[in-house]
Each structure stands twice: as C-alpha cells, then as structure tokens.
Amino acid sequence: MLAETALANLPRDRMIVALDFSSVGQAEKMVETLGDSVVFYKIGLELAYGGGLGLAERLIAAGKQVFLDLKLHDIPNTVERAAAQVGQIGASLLTVHAYPQTMRAARKALLGSNTKILAVTVMTSYDDADLSEAGYALGVSDLVARRALQAREIGIEGLILSAEEVAAMRALVGPEMLLVTPGIRPAGDAVGDQKRVVTPAAAIRAGADHLVIGRPVTQSADPWRAAQAITEEIAGALR
C-alpha cells in the first residue's frame, strides 16, 4: 500500500528515472525522448556537479517532479544550509545519509517545505562483507533497521533502501514513511555494480512507494518503450 505521504498514486508516478549522465545536454535529450512517459526524475551527484541543479529547476517549471540524490552528510550547520537551498529549488525529494546529526539538520531546514527527506540507510552496492571491511559491527539488515528507526524518531519522511529490505522495514516503521528503492532491474537485465537487486513488480508488492530506475530505461535501445513496459509492470503489481 502506498504510504500516506507518498507523492503520487498513478503507476507511472511510482517510477523515478535516474538521469545518470555527465552532461546536461545528454540528460535533456533523454527527457525529450521519454516525453510524457516519465514524470519523475532523479538527479545524482555526477549530473548535479555538471549543471544539473539548473536542469532540476527547469524540469520542475515544466511540471516534472525531481529527486535530488545528493546524499548530504557534513557538520550540521553545512547540512542545514545546503538542505535549505534544495528547498528553494523545489525538489520533491532529497537524500541525506542516515546519521542522526545529519538528519536533524536537514529536518530543521526543510520543516514546512514541500521537499521530503529520504534517509540513506545502507548503500545498495554494499553487502555484509563491505560493511565489515569499513569497520561496522552490524550487518546490512541490522544497520538498515537501526537507521530506519532513528529516521522515524527524528521525523524524516522516508527511506531509500534496497527492495530486499522493504517488507521488513514497512513492518518496522509503519505505513507513514515513504520507501524508495534503487537497484531495480526488470527480469533478465544485467545487475551491473548493484549487489541487491529486485524486479519492479516484486518491489511494489513488497511495499515500495517509488522505484528508482536508471540503466534499464536510459541505456535501452528504445527508452520510451522500456519506460512504458516498467509502468505496465508496476500497474500489474498494484492490481
């Protein structure tokens, strides 16, 4: 079931296409190709550093929704000021790392705005071995759960996490929080550098609100058709 704070209700609104390009020109060409088949876009670090914040403003002015995947994490004052800037742009979603100081600072900056915060629990390219190598005592599942509860207590609107954790996290945090899942691959697609991947239908059935999908759409021979097929798969999972 879609969380009460979700941003949309139609199947195509559940899909967020990742504009993982190095230039604004490439991203704009993809947006033009996709046309009305996509209404929600993600701009991550690569594109943000290449002029993507201006593109975000233009997309919002054109009636699209934008997810700024900036994964903020710094001293509280810096996070607060940066999050406030994102609020002025009018992005629908912003990611911050799920450290309590960071989440509190972003929450303070965006309280009352239309920008919702997603806490990054554990990156989808990490598995238990990666966390151990980085010095964490907890494995993926336990660390995701701990950070999810901290985010809920602080008042963060949602989480970005692997679809493999969605069902457990929905039961843990309840229906109010948005659950947004990257690492989505239609059946048969290559997984690339992602270690925890799930199909669109499986993610929706598990309780995800929005799916972040990049390469299966943007690197397809026919991006418009690929986006339509994923929307149809989402619609089927919602029935």
Kindly report, residue by residue over 28-78, the tens digit of the pLDDT: 999 999 999 999 999 999 999 999 999 999 999 999 999 999 999 999 999
Catalytic residue among 29, 42, 64, 71: 71
How far, in Å, CA of 95 to CA of 159, rounded?
9
Distance of CA 134 to the CA centre of its chain: 23
29 is catalytic: no
The answer as to whether 47 is a domain residue is yes
Which residues are CB-contacts of 134 (< 8 A; sequence separation ≥ 6)?
126
Residue 45 located in a structural domain: yes
Sign, Cα dihedral of 228, 230, 236, 239: negative
pLDDT at 125 over 90: no
Residue 10: alpha-carbon gap to chain centroid: 17
Distance CA 104, CA 83 (A): 11
Between CA 231 and CA 95, with CA 187 as vertex, the angle to 5 degrees is: 60
- Measured distance CA(46)–CA(23) in Å, rounded: 8
With 90 as the cut, is the pLDDT of residue 171 above it? yes
Query: The domain containing residue 91 runs over which residues?
Result: 11-238
Determine, yes or no, domain membership for 56. Answer: yes
CATH code, 79 = 3.20.20.70
Q: How many domains does the chain have?
A: 1
Residue 197: pLDDT over 90: no
Q: What is the mean pLDDT of the chain?
A: 90
Is residue 3 assigned to a domain?
Answer: no
What residues pair up with 159 in beta bridges, in sequence order?
119, 179
